[in-house]
Chains A and B, each alone.
Chain A
Amino acid sequence: MEFGPYLLLACLEGAVLAAVLALMASGLSLVFGVMRVVNVAHGEFYMLGAVAAWAVTSMLGAGAVANFVAALVIAPLAVGLLAAAADMTILKRLEYDPERTIVATIGLLYVIQQLTLMTYGADARPVVAPFNSRIALPWVEWGENGLSLYYPWGLSTTSYKLFVIVAAVVLITGLRLFMAHSRAGLIMRATQLDGEMATAFGVPVERVYAIVFGAGAALAALAGVLIVPIQQAHYLMGGDALLLSFIVVIIGGLGSLTGTVVAAILIGMSDGIISVFFSPTLAKIIATLVVALVLVFRPQGLFGAKDR
């Protein structure tokens, strides 16, 4: 393949990664924004989403589409409830102290991961995509008769990958509208601005925290369900995903949803492109160093506003 089509292919792969990443990082960003705590177990909720999708589809045994729709509903709900329970039993009792919360969620990470290993096992298992037709993509070429379209060999994507991108766009737009216009969104934003004042105005802050923590985990689980037909479910899949969403949230500015989406596109695309042309390990080294340096020299993130 020539350079041009190859680049387009890399961009497409990058866009799928960016979509999933944006969804997952929005969850992390939401939790940090409202509760001011970093949830290190976020990657494990993503993994649980993927594993739950496998469990639902293999137990239900209906058609591929019905199976997948069921997984899209059940997995995020179950994971969200689990996370809310963890918030009420553990994080609430730590009074959301930032450092102790990180240590406790590290513990939670290992508990979830290892329990999955004990029950689900160490194998990677696939989920069948609800639809998966191959779509060949054209490329322009200067031929003898001027510009002409042709279909280079290997340049293609699948309908499911396009669906993932569209689904992520729809979900994130929905989340933004929800936060900006609904009453629940208003309450969350009020809690984010000033928890004590919100309490004074009768906002049940503890319940809001539990719901936000659950919703953040559900977003990660949703990302896990969407990715599992492309990439199999495995008990260790949360680690890389956590690292990437950390990177996205930090570069985008902690707690800023717009920044998170922009950063997800930036990181997803560049990761896709660097991985195709160079090595995935090099892409990750560059990304982690960039994050560390952004935090050191521009703590508000590339797109975040200065702290009030």
Chain B
Amino acid sequence: MSRRDWSLHLGLVALLFALNWILPAYHHGVVARVMVLAVFAMGYNVAFGYTGLLSLGHAMYFAAGMYGTGLVALHLEAGAIPAWFAGLGAGLLLALVTGLLALRTAGVSFMIVTLMFAQAFYLGILYFGDITHGDDGFVVPNAARRVAEVALSDAGPRYLIGWALFSVTMIGTLWLVRAPFGRVLVAIRENEDRARLLGYDTGRRKLGALVISGGISAGAGAAYALLFGYVGASFAGVQYSIFALLWVLLGGAGTVIGPLVGTLFMYYLVDLSTEVTDAYMLIAGIVLILLTLFMPRGITGALRQVWRDLP
């Protein structure tokens, strides 16, 4: 890894850390939220951006983390840390099971299978309303939202935990895609037959990528439940799967900082447009169409043409 790569990514981490003391209250909250959502996007990016697995069902992994954490906290009165690991475990398990089935297909079929699994998961949340509180969702009990004496619901700790999760995930994925495993994933994305011909077991590596991707997404969902205190079925809906795709596409698929750029940009765009109209998803639709037409590589992808070795 070149020194420029390190300075770019560590610089970003340091900048986000410093912003904790600089940002006004409202934007402080937004950036905390965006960092957690960007972790979800980075998880998606491992599957879509680096391995070429275009999933339309990643909301189910995010929601598995969220509900795994929330339900354990609500019904078993677990503390924050065990609850977070419960969410992570739920997401990893779900990614393993759905991956084993869905990866038997490819391309358009893979998109539809993941969409259907996610839809069944979403409907399952509604169906088991006695446990999950269905459409209304539930508030995570305050007892579960503290570690030692620190309340995770306070603005300061919330920002710093979001920042820590974001930084660890970013450096982790940067390391992952530079490691031999990540190189093989890119090879699978570019030409799976050729990768197989070279002797790589592409099936197992794709499963590995999907489980890592689902795990990161679930970790984000679990953190979201703890930091923002609300668990709801809307996070499992198709819309959030589409959001993950949109954030990654917009920021630039297959780049490490792309997901943050895309999430930040889209969040503010939607935030600004809700002041004008209720139909904020209109913006998402227009951006999606424009991206596929004019900028298939996203913002960072366009930058990469100028700065060639941007990771």
Q: A108-B289, A243-B119 are contacts. A296–B277 as well, Cβ < 8 Å?
A: no
User: Do the beta carbons of B293 and A115 come within 8 Å of each other?
Assistant: no
The verdict on A109 contacting chain B, using a C-beta distance below 8 Å, is: yes
User: Do the beta carbons of A100 and B292 come within 8 Å of each other?
Assistant: yes
User: Do the beta carbons of B279 and A284 come within 8 Å of each other?
Assistant: no
Q: A90-B293, A108-B289, A293-B101 are contacts. A114–B120 as well, Cβ < 8 Å?
A: no
Give the Cβ gap from B276 to chain A, nearest Cβ, in Å. Answer: 10
The verdict on A183 contacting chain B, using a C-beta distance below 8 Å, is: no
User: Do the beta carbons of B282 and A90 come within 8 Å of each other?
Assistant: no
Q: Say which residue of B56, B117, B280, B288 sits within 8 Å of A107 (CB atoms).
A: B288
User: Do the beta carbons of B105 and A94 come within 8 Å of each other?
Assistant: no
Bound-state CA distance A73–B217 (Å) is 48
Q: A110-B281, A114-B285, A243-B119 are contacts. A296–B112 as well, Cβ < 8 Å?
A: no
Instruction: Give chain B's interface residue range (CB within 8 Å of chain A).
Output: 35 or more
Bound-state CA distance A102–B114 (Å) is 14
Q: Say which residue of A103, A243, A282, A285 sits within 8 Å of B292 (CB atoms).
A: A103
The verdict on A246 contacting chain B, using a C-beta distance below 8 Å, is: yes
Residues of B within 8 A of A157 (CB): none
Q: Please count how many residues in chain A sit with their CB below 8 Å of the partner chain's CB atoms.
A: 40
Residues of A within 8 A of B116 (CB): 246, 288-289, 291-292, 295
The verdict on A118 contacting chain B, using a C-beta distance below 8 Å, is: yes
Q: Say which residue of B105, B287, B293 sits within 8 Å of A295 (CB atoms).
A: B105
The verdict on A279 contacting chain B, using a C-beta distance below 8 Å, is: yes
The verdict on B107 contacting chain A, using a C-beta distance below 8 Å, is: yes
Q: Say which residue of B101, B104, B278, B284 sits within 8 Å of A110 (CB atoms).
A: B284
Give the Cβ gap from B309 to chain A, nearest Cβ, in Å. Answer: 26
User: Do the beta carbons of B113 and A281 come within 8 Å of each other?
Assistant: no
Bound-state CA distance A103–B102 (Å) is 19
The verdict on B111 contacting chain A, using a C-beta distance below 8 Å, is: yes
Nearest residue, chain B, Cβ from A111:
B285
User: Do the beta carbons of A106 and B242 come within 8 Å of each other?
Assistant: yes
Q: Say which residue of A104, A115, A239, A299 sits within 8 Å of B289 (CB atoms).
A: A104
Tell which of B102, B111, B238, B285 has the most Cβ of chain A within 10 Å: B285
Q: Say which residue of A100, A117, A284 sits within 8 Å of B296 (CB atoms).
A: A100
User: Do the beta carbons of A113 and B108 come within 8 Å of each other?
Assistant: no
The verdict on B172 contacting chain A, using a C-beta distance below 8 Å, is: no
The verdict on A220 contacting chain B, using a C-beta distance below 8 Å, is: no
Contact pattern, B 116-151, Cβ under 8 Å of A = 1, otherwise 0: 110110011011000000000000000000000000
The verdict on A174 contacting chain B, using a C-beta distance below 8 Å, is: no
Bound-state CA distance A292–B278 (Å) is 34
The verdict on B198 contacting chain A, using a C-beta distance below 8 Å, is: no
Q: A106-B242, A285-B120 are contacts. A296–B105 as well, Cβ < 8 Å?
A: yes
Give the Cβ gap from B256 to chain A, nearest Cβ, in Å. Answer: 22
Tell which of B120, B242, B284, B286 has the most Cβ of chain A within 10 Å: B120
Bound-state CA distance A117–B120 (Å) is 27
Question: When A and B form their complex, what is the total count of cross-chain residue pairs whose Cβ atoms lie within 8 Å?
Answer: 115
User: Do the beta carbons of A98 and B107 come within 8 Å of each other?
Assistant: yes
Tell which of A98, A114, A243 has the most Cβ of chain B within 10 Å: A114
Residues of B within 8 A of A281 (CB): 123, 126-127
The verdict on A99 contacting chain B, using a C-beta distance below 8 Å, is: yes
User: Do the beta carbons of B54 and A99 come within 8 Å of each other?
Assistant: yes
Bound-state CA distance A212–B286 (Å) is 24
User: Do the beta carbons of A110 and B282 come within 8 Å of each other?
Assistant: yes
User: Do the beta carbons of B282 and A115 come within 8 Å of each other?
Assistant: yes
Tell me the A23-54 residues at the B interface (CB within 8 Å).
38
Tell which of A99, A115, A239 has the most Cβ of chain B within 10 Å: A99
User: Do the beta carbons of B112 and A288 come within 8 Å of each other?
Assistant: no
Residues of B within 8 A of A117 (CB): 278-279
The verdict on B64 contacting chain A, using a C-beta distance below 8 Å, is: no
Nearest residue, chain B, Cβ from A282:
B127
Q: Say which residue of A103, A250, A282 sits within 8 Å of B245 (CB atoms).
A: A103
User: Do the beta carbons of A109 and B245 come within 8 Å of each other?
Assistant: no
Contact pattern, B 183-223, Cβ under 8 Å of A = 1, otherwise 0: 00000000000000000000000000000000000000000
User: Do the beta carbons of A289 and B120 come within 8 Å of each other?
Assistant: yes
Residues of B within 8 A of A243 (CB): 119
User: Do the beta carbons of B277 and A118 come within 8 Å of each other?
Assistant: yes
Instruction: With A115-B279, A281-B123, A299-B105 given, name 20 new contacts (CB 8 A).
Output: A99-B107, A99-B108, A100-B296, A102-B108, A106-B245, A106-B288, A107-B288, A107-B292, A109-B285, A114-B280, A115-B282, A289-B117, A289-B120, A291-B112, A292-B102, A292-B113, A292-B120, A293-B101, A296-B101, A296-B113
**Which 8 A-B residue pairings sit nearest by Cβ, starting from the closest?**
A110-B285, A107-B288, A114-B282, A107-B289, A114-B279, A111-B285, A292-B116, A288-B120
23 A-B pairs with C-beta separation under 8 A: A93-B293, A99-B54, A99-B107, A102-B56, A102-B108, A104-B288, A107-B285, A107-B287, A108-B285, A110-B282, A111-B286, A113-B281, A114-B280, A114-B281, A114-B282, A115-B282, A117-B279, A243-B119, A246-B112, A288-B116, A288-B119, A289-B116, A299-B105
- Interface residues of chain A, those whose CB is within 8 Å of chain B, are 38, 90, 93-94, 98-100, 102-104, 106-115, 117-118, 239, 243, 246, 250, 279, 281-282, 284-285, 288-289, 291-293, 295-297, 299
